[in-house]
Amino acid sequence: MLDKIVAKTEERLIEAKKNKSLEELKDEVSKLEINKDFPFKEALKDPQIAIISEVKRASPSKGLIAEDFDYMEIAKEYEEAGASAISVLTEPYFFQGANVYLKEIAEAVSIPILRKDFIIDEYMIWEAKLLGASAVLLIVSILDIVQLKKFLDLAHDLGLSAIVETHDGDEIRTATNVGAEIIGVNNRNLADFTVDIENTISLRRCVSDNIIFVSESGIKTKEDVTKLKENNVDAVLIGETLMKSDDKKSLILELKNG
């Protein structure tokens, strides 16, 4: 499945570059203010535990998650409930995301936004900046170490934070070696889509305390969040559980304070 997603991402890039070249994109970004306050990274330093609430309509493993998808209302609910940051899917084929979701949400809320996508080209990082993101996702399993370092440095140069996503100890070592300041552990096995938050807990010892540590996927209950908090996890990224909830505000408060 990951290979299919990457292949579709390559097709998207070809089309995007036909509409706007990399040089044109850079020129537009050059007109923006670049500051190095890194609001996304700062937001994850919550003394309790930071909640990254995800705006996600569908996924390859679950299909359509949210038939009624008022992404602007959802984002505003997240902010009002005290979410630390918002993750927005922009991958259109497998997650039914869109760049416009990110752009409009970033204009409407004051908390930082993560562009959740399969970044395989620097074009997508420049694009994320133009869309209004405060952070990008860099997935170790789809990038070689040269690409990873280049993309991480570019993100930081543009004032963007980056969650460097890993699945095992080897990938964590790679993330550490390129200077990742935020390391995420995806609890989803990309081969069979099974999920286990114990993956985060077992890998926590591999990451030093000066790096922000994020758990992704499979977090469903306040007990899950409490368990992760007790194991020194700094932040959790929660998508499907929130998207399926009829009362997202109450659920975020429960997860954060329960």
Q: Which one from 41, 56, 129, 248 is the annotated catalytic residue?
A: 56
Catalytic annotation on 217? yes
Compute φ and ψ for 215, nearest 5 degrees: -105, 130
Q: Which of 41, 99, 116, 187 is catalytic?
A: 116
Q: Please give the angle made by the CA atoms of 214, 215 and 217, to the nearest 5 degrees.
A: 140
What is the CA 54 to chain-centroid distance, rounded?
8
How far apart are the C-alpha atoms of 243 and 63, rounded to whole Å?
13
Residue from 41, 53, 54, 199 carrying the catalytic annotation: 54
Tell me if residue 216 is catalytic: yes
- Respond yes or no: is residue 77 known to be catalytic: no
Please state whether beta strands 212-216 and 135-139 pair in parallel, antiparallel, or not at all (unpaired).
Answer: unpaired
Active-site position among 59, 87, 99, 186:
186
Burial class of residue 243 in the structure, from the number of CB atoms within 10 Å of its CB (0-12 exposed, 13-18 middle, 19+ buried): buried
Distance CA 123, CA 26 (A): 9
Catalytic residue among 77, 165, 171, 240: 165
Question: Which tokens belong to 82?
Answer: 């005290």
Taking residue 104's Cβ as centre, other Cβ atoms within 10 Å add up to 17
Whether 165 is catalytic is: yes
CA 39/CA 49 separation, integer angstroms = 16
Distance of CA 7 to the CA centre of its chain: 20
Rounded-to-integer distance, Cα 41 and Cα 207, Å: 16
Whether the CB-CB separation of 130 and 44 falls below 8 Å is answered with: no
Determine whether 187 is an active site residue: no
Per the annotation, the verdict on 189 as an active-site residue is no
| Residue 202 is a catalytic residue | no
Catalytic residues: 54, 56, 116, 165, 186, 216-217
